[in-house]
A = this chain, B = another copy of it.
Amino acid sequence: MTADEQNMSSRDRIIAAGAVMLGEDAGARLSVRAVAERAGVSTGSLRHHFPTQRALQDAVLARVYDEVVSDDRIHDRTVPARERLIDCLRLVLTPTVGEQARQAWLTVFRTFLVPEQTDEIRAAYLGMEREGQRRVEYWLSVLVEEGALADGDNTRRARFLCTVLNGLSVERAFPAEESILRSEAETLHTAVDCVLSSPA
């Protein structure tokens, strides 16, 4: 146990241990016992802080994602345009992770999909979607302005990226095969590369 770990509460040690394990193997299982042992804590103690394994995984994942991004990143020309765009897109996904993603989608579905489709509901949903797409289009326009992205149909590009984000978001809400960190990153890279190298 390091000095840092001594000064951390059990809860923090557990999350830290889980984060480390995710770092070593992005597809780590984060089993109760393994994390507890790694954190130098009993399973009972761990289960006091995280009553279910899901709670544990969510907490660790949230910690990992929290160390990531902010919005004005798109203007930071010291990093490649590609990374900036990816970070910003990730920003959209950040609020939804694990159980939160599930709750978020449940809310969305109950709000927009379960009730019969009135014009009001339609308009509300379209407003949300438009706002999301507007942000993406803005990021793209910034890249175009600085020459990192060829002038072209940003609306179409943004719609493509939003579709990918929708897919990723759904996949976050549903159980993931392995760590969504890895596959999600790959997919995001693929999509962004596709947009950045698009002729028109």
Contact = CB atoms under 8 A, between A and B. Distances in A.
Interface residues of A, number: 40
Nearest to A195: B190
26 contacts: A105-B113, A106-B109, A106-B113, A112-B174, A112-B175, A117-B175, A122-B175, A125-B174, A129-B174, A156-B183, A156-B186, A156-B190, A159-B186, A160-B187, A162-B167, A163-B164, A163-B167, A163-B171, A164-B164, A166-B167, A166-B171, A167-B167, A170-B170, A190-B198, A193-B194, A194-B194
Given A112-B175, A164-B167, 15 more contacts: A54-B117, A102-B113, A102-B117, A121-B175, A122-B175, A125-B174, A129-B174, A130-B177, A159-B183, A159-B186, A160-B187, A167-B167, A167-B170, A170-B170, A190-B194
A160 B198 CA distance: 17
Contacts of A117: 54, 102, 175
A168 interface: yes
- Integer count of this chain's copies in the complex: 2
A165 interface: yes
